[in-house]
Amino acid sequence: MPLPRQTTLVPLRAFVRSSATRQHCLKGFITVGSSSPSNNARRTFNSTSIRGASALADHSSRQQAGPKPTRSSRLLHSPSERDLQEAEIEAEVLPVHEATFQMTDAAAQQLQAISGRDNNPNTALRIVVESGGCHGYQYRMELTSKRELDD
């Protein structure tokens, strides 16, 4: 059964709608940067927004009432239709313009501060959706500078 399409706070890796019964880990990268090169006092995380799947409809209503993200960045990598077929994953790849992930400025600033400690311009945020949790899937975010084979 395909997951419902809603704008939520749910991170998705490959920006796909996938079967809830699949046991595959879905990941994606977005870059970390500053909101303006000349203004280091106010730094934000460049986020991509993901339109995704969630059984938690209340996330959507809370998101609409909350602060809006200030910037977006480009997706660094996601699997192609061919990659998904080779991995035998039943999923539909969403167009990039439909794949959105929203983050508040406070969360973006916290990630920027954490990533700044590494002083690595190749730092990216890996967003993972994997099987487990109350609704059949769970989410994980991690900073990384290396691309993995299954990204």
Contact 129, 26 (CB under 8 A): yes
Is residue 126 in some structural domain?
yes
Q: What pLDDT score was predicted for residue 5?
A: 27
Pick the more confident residue, 99 or 21.
99
Least confident range of 1-5, 95-99, 133-137, 139-143: 1-5
Residue 39 lies in a domain: yes
Range of the domain at 91: 6-144
What's phi and psi for 117, nearest 5 deg? -65, -30
What is the per-residue pLDDT for 151?
A: 67
Is residue 149 assigned to a domain?
Answer: no
Domain for residue 40, yes or no?
yes
